[in-house]
Structure 1
C-alpha cells in the first residue's frame, strides 16, 4: 500500500510539473506576441495593425491593415518599406500576400454585411442611376469620391453599360473639393448629368440644399458602419436572391465584368 501511495504521489507530481511547464510556455508565448506588437506600435503608433508576421527579410515584419494594404516594418532600426519583395523567378511575394489578405477581408466583410444589413438598408441610402437598359441580374452599389481618379475609372465604365448603379458619396478628407462636389451632385435635379459634368471638369453652379447635406450625412454614416476607408468600394447585389454576393475594392474592372457581363 505504501509503494502504491508513493507511485501515486510521483504521478501527481509529474502531472503538476507538466501543467506548470505548459502554463509557463503559454505565458512566454503571449509575452512574445505582446512584445512584438509593442515594438511595431512604437514605430507606427497611429496605425491600427490588423495582423503581423515575420517577413522574408530578416528583421522586418509584414504589417497588414484593415484596408487591405500591407507594408514592412523593422522595429529594431525603425524602418518602413512600402515596396514589393520579388523572387528571382519574377514572383511578387508582396502581391500574393496582399491578394490573400484582401480575399480574407472581403469574405469577412461580406459575412458582416449580410448579417447586419438587409439589401434595402444599403440601397435606400444610395442614389439610383440607371444606365442603358438597367440591370438584368446584378445591381451595384458604389462608395465613390468625386475627386478620386480611380472612382472616375469605375464610374465611366458603368456609364457605358446596362446597369442600375446606387451611388453613395464618400468624400475623403484629403480631397479638398470632394465634399462640395458631392453636395453639388446631391443638390442637382439630374444627378446623372451632374456627375458626368464633374467627371469632365465642368463643375455646375448649383445651390447646396439642406436635403443634400442630410443625404450626404446618411451616406457617410453608412460608409463608417461598413468601415469603408478607401474609394471606390463596390458592392454586388444579386437581384433575384436579394442578397449581397461580393465586394470589390478599387477600380477592378475585371472583377466587375465577371458580374456585369450577365447584365448586358
Structure 2
C-alpha cells in the first residue's frame, strides 16, 4: 500500500503514480556540512508542502543526491529540490543490499517495550516465548489472510498482540469497538476474522477508548497499511507475510 506521505509528496509534485526504480551505485561516501543538509531540508519542505513533513536529511553515496525521510518513507533530492526521486531504490553494488530498505527499516523501528500491550488483544500459541505486535483492521482482507496463516501454519511458541486499528471506514471502527468490548475479545476477533461471525453488540458502559488510542499510536509510528507486523526487536514486516517469511524473521531475533 502506498504510504500516505509518499502520496502527499506525489500530489505536491503533480504526480498520480510512480513506478519503483532501482539505482545501482558503488558505496562511496561524501562529506557535507550540516548547513547543506539544512538547506536541502528547507528546499524539499517548500516543494512538498506541509502535508509531507520532512523529518530528516542525510547524504548518500552519490554526490549531490540527498536522502530525505518523509514520514516512514524515503525519497531522494538534489540540493535545491529541483529534482526529486519518489519510489527509488538505492543499491550498493558491492554488498548487493538496498540502502533504501535498510534506512527505511532503521527509521521505522519501534521500541517494542514501550508499546501499550494492555490495549492489544493477546493471543498465545504454544509457550508464547516469541512475540509480535500487529496493527490490524477488521475489514482488511490481508489481515484476515494473516490470521488464517497464523491458525493453519506450523508457526508455534508465539504471542501475538493485535492492536485494533480501524482505518478503513466507520464500519471498521464499529467492529473494532465491538470486538474490544466483547466478553472474550480473542474469541470475538477470531470469530470475525476467520469465520465471519459478527461480534456481539457492546455493552452501553463499555470503555472502548483503547481503540481510539490505538489509532493515535499507529499514526505516531507511521503505520500506513494493515496488517503491519512489529517484531520484538522493533523491525517491521509490512503486509500479510507468508509463514516462511515470518518464521525466518523470528529466527533472526537474538
TM-score, shorter chain, exceeding 0.5: yes
141-150 or 33-42, which moves further after superposition?
141-150
Shift of 1:199: 3.5
Residue 130 of structure 1 aligns with which residue? 124
C-alpha distance in 2 between matches for 1:66 and 1:190: 36
Per the normalisation by structure 2, the TM-score is 0.62
2-structure distance, mates of 1:188, 1:102 = 37
For residues 211-222 of structure 1, the aligned pairs below 5 Å read 211-220=206-215, 222=217
Q: State the Cα distance separating 1:178 from its structure 2 match.
A: 2.5
Selected match of 2:149 from 134, 157, 169: 157
TM-score (norm 1): 0.60
Query: How far apart in 2 are the matches of 1:63 and 1:167?
Result: 31
The residue aligned with 2:47 is 43
Deviation, 1:214, is 2.5
Instruction: Name structure 1 gaps, 5 residues minimum.
Output: 1-27, 237-243
Partner Cα distance (1:56, 1:139) in 2:
36
More strand by share: 2
Q: Which runs of 5+ in 2 are unaligned?
A: 1-31
Structure 1 residue 203 displacement after superposition: 6.2
RMSD: 4.1
How far apart in 2 are the matches of 1:73 and 1:176?
38
Q: What whole-Å deviation, never above 9, does each CA across 1:184-213 have from its counterpart, x for those lacking one? A: 322333434443454368462632344252
Taking the aligned partners of 1:34 and 1:259, their CA distance within structure 2 comes to 36
CA distance in structure 1 between the partners assigned to 2:171 and 2:84 by the alignment: 31
1:30–1:255 Cα change, 3 Å? same
Larger helix share, 1 or 2: 1
- Once residues 228 and 35 of structure 1 are traced to their aligned partners in structure 2, the CA distance between those partners, rounded to angstroms, is 25
